[in-house]
């Protein structure tokens, strides 16, 4: 059931990003821009293209998982924010079956190198990001 809810959330989140406002208001002090609607997306490492950045970050985290021997048939979906200074904030697991794996992935994501932040009107902005890690198809009983 959790998987179905998360997949529904991901679908609605992606679709709504094209149909509605581009700012997700988290609080009065902080605006988080949806990754999918930003023209100048955040970039990881020395990449200059969205696709290369996504691939580089996924490979970076996956290599860390592999080096720690954590990837024993686990999978997790993680959301986080990329701050104006490029640091990772508010990382959390949306769904995952193995608590130890989930905690390790959140820790790896949070401690990852800084990103080049997204920009809007030539100013750095905070943006949201969603990723999946691991190599297992999630248990169908969770759907």
What is the tens place of the pLDDT at every residue in 12-30?
A: 444 444 433 444 444 334 5
Q: Which of 9-23, 27-41, 45-59 has the highest mean pLDDT?
A: 45-59
Residue 102's nearest CA partner among 90, 110, 93, 111 is 93
pLDDT at residue 27, as a whole number = 39
Nearest Cα to Cα of residue 2 among 138, 95, 140: 95
Average pLDDT along the chain: 79
Q: The tokens 């954590």 sit on which residue? A: 70
Which pLDDT does position 142 carry in this prediction?
A: 44
Q: Are strands 75-82 and 127-134 parallel, antiparallel or unpaired?
A: antiparallel
- What one-character-per-residue DSSP string does the chain give? -HHHHHHHHHHHHHHHHHHS-SEEE-SSS-EEE-GGG-SB--EETT--SHHHHHHHHHHHHHHHHHHTT--SS-EEEEEEEE-TTS-EEEEEEEEES-HHHHHHHHHHHHTSPPEEPEEETTEEE-EEEEEEEES-PPPGGG-
């Amino acid at each position: 059931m959790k998987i179905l809810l998360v997949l529904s959330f991901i679908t609605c989140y992606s679709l709504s990003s094209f149909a509605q406002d581009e700012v997700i208001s988290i609080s009065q002090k902080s605006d988080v821009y949806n990754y999918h609607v930003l023209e100048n997306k955040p970039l990881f490492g020395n990449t200059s293209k969205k696709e290369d950045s996504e691939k580089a970050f996924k490979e970076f985290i996956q290599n860390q998982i592999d080096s720690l021997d954590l990837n024993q048939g686990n999978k997790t979906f993680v959301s986080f924010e990329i701050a104006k200074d490029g640091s990772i904030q508010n990382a959390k697991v949306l769904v995952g079956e193995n608590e130890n794996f989930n905690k390790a992935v959140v820790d790896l994501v949070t401690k990852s190198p800084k990103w080049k932040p997204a920009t809007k009107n030539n100013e750095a902005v905070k943006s949201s990001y969603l990723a999946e890690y691991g190599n297992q198809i999630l248990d169908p009983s969770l759907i």
